Structure 1
Amino acid sequence: MRGLVWMKDGGAEYAEVDLGAELTAVGVAIGTDPIPYRLEYTLRTLTGYVTELLSVRVHGVGWHRAIDLRRSVHGTWSCETREEGHLEGPPPGGDMNDLGDALDCDLGMSPLTNSMPILRHGLAVQEGRVDLVTAWVEVPHLRVIRQPQRYAHLGPGRVRYESGGFRTDLALDDGVVVDYPGLARMVVGEPQSRPSVGPTLS
């Protein structure tokens, strides 16, 4: 288990991450764009870092939103949503039929979920490039949309990420993003330890 902290221009994120053949994590983030919010998430993958569950709760003054985004072993995505109060912008959730070829979720403003395709394809340590589709979760609205992405190995611990017209070079440690220019930089990364009993996530 590792305790990780990323600082951002408009907030911060803390996550407790267990990384082996699968990835599990619980995290909390605060942000300011487009309005102040507090977010909590639970992430769980199957072997090979394929998403199984992303559960997100986010709230600000006068509003609250939540989603439980799941991918079955057969590749079917589902999403349960809840919302209270008024937050200007799109509603939570989206069309799950658009996500049939997606293996990964991508939580907006979180550098952690970029790690999953990088780990699965070994791009932090070996040459290669992969084009894929993710279930991208917009924060704080929690809208879920299909998003094509590309990852390419640049060198040991360095991977280029592209989506649409956006491109940036990520720095990694053990496959986990430590520097995402323009988004986040890790300031604390406790060493990985191996508990005799894995974490229980609800």
Structure 2
Amino acid sequence: MTAIVWVKPEGAELAEVELGQDRLRATGTAIGGDPLPYQLEYDLTTGERWITERLFVKTYGPGWSRSLELINNPAGRWTINAEAEGQVDLPPPGGDPAAVTGALDCDLGLSPLTNTMPVLRGGFLQRGEGEHLMAWVSVPALVVIPSRQTYRHARPGVVSYASERFTEDIVFGADGLVENYPSIGRRIRP
């Protein structure tokens, strides 16, 4: 188990990550301030080839909380369970599972962790390029949205990421975890 801290432009994230030969298990906590102050907790489990099996996320702030559970069966069919309590100016959590059918991975918004799965599975730290449909989870609203993302090997340890509205070069460490995702988070080492 590895403990990681990422410092973000508007917050921080602490994750405990167990990265196996083709699996990942992680729990984490994050805080943020945009579009409103919130705390987030998550639990992520993948199966073989780092394919998401389950993501549970909870966000909360003064007077409100929401939770989201994403379950991916081996055929790429997702189950989405969401709950919300209290009043907050955010869209309702959840989404249409049919919109992310075929996605292998979740992508937890503002977390550097979930980029690890498609990058390791595709071998993009060494070579290649690939497009992936992701079940992207907005934070702190916890809305699930389909997101087409491209990962491309740029140079050793660096992968170029692109989605419809965003591009960035992501630096990975030798352990396969994100070191620096410039607009999302930078890993702090003791």
TM-score category, normalised to shorter length? over 0.9
Query: Structure 1: where are the runs of 5+ without partners?
Result: 190-202
Contact 1:132–1:150 (Cα < 8 Å) also in 2: yes
Aligned to 2:57: 56
Answer with 63-72 or 73-82: which moved more: 73-82
Residue 157 of structure 2: aligned partner: 157
Bigger RCO (CA 8 Å, 6+ sep): 1
RMSD over aligned CA atoms reads: 0.9
Alignment of 1:1-202 (within 5 A): 1-20=1-20, 21-124=22-125, 126-173=126-173, 174-188=175-189
CA distance in 2, matches of 1:188, 1:27: 17
8 Å contact from structure 2 (residues 77, 102) kept in 1: no
AA in 2 matched with 1:84: E
Q: Structure 2: how far apart are the matches of 1:97 and 1:17?
A: 29
- Between the aligned partners of 2:189 and 2:78, the Cα distance in structure 1 is 33
Aligned residue pairs total 188
Displacement of 1:75: 1.8
Task: Tell me, in whole angstroms, the C-alpha distance in 2 between the residues paired with 1:52 and 1:181.
Answer: 28
For residue 90 of structure 1, report the CA deviation from its aligned partner: 1.3
Q: Secondary structure at the match of 2:49?
A: coil
- Structure 1 position 165, deviation (Å): 2.9
**Contact 1:6–1:188 at 8 Å: present in 2 too?**
no
Q: Which amino acid aligns with 2:186?
A: R
Structure 1 consecutive aligned stretches of length 4 or more whose deviation exceeds 4 Å: none
Q: CA deviation at 1:89?
A: 2.4
- CA separation in 1, counterparts of 2:96 and 2:115? 22
Equivalents in 1 of 2:17, 2:94: separation in Å? 25
> Is 1:8–1:184's contact at 8 Å kept on the other side of the alignment?
yes
Instruction: Output the CA distance in 2 between the equivalents of 1:11 and 1:147.
Output: 24
The SS at the match of 1:175 is: coil
How many Å apart are 1:4 and its aligned residue?
A: 0.4
| Distance in 2 (alpha carbons) for counterparts of 1:79 and 1:93 | 6
Per-residue CA deviation, residues 143-182 of structure 1 (Å, 9 max, x unaligned), is 0010000000011100000011311000001221110011
Counterpart Cα distance in 1 of 2:165 and 2:40: 27
Q: Percent identity?
A: 47
2: CA distance between counterparts of 1:28 and 1:165?
A: 26
Task: Give the TM-score of the pair, scaled to structure 2.
Answer: 0.97
**Alpha-carbon separation, structure 1, partners of 2:155 and 2:106:** 25
Cα distance per residue 1:54-110 (max 9 Å; x no partner): 000110011000011110122210011111011212110000001112000000010
Equivalent pair of 2:80/2:96 in contact (CA under 8 Å): no
Question: Structure 2 regions of 5+ residues with no counterpart?
Answer: none
| Equivalent-residue separation in structure 2 for 1:86 and 1:109 (angstroms) | 23
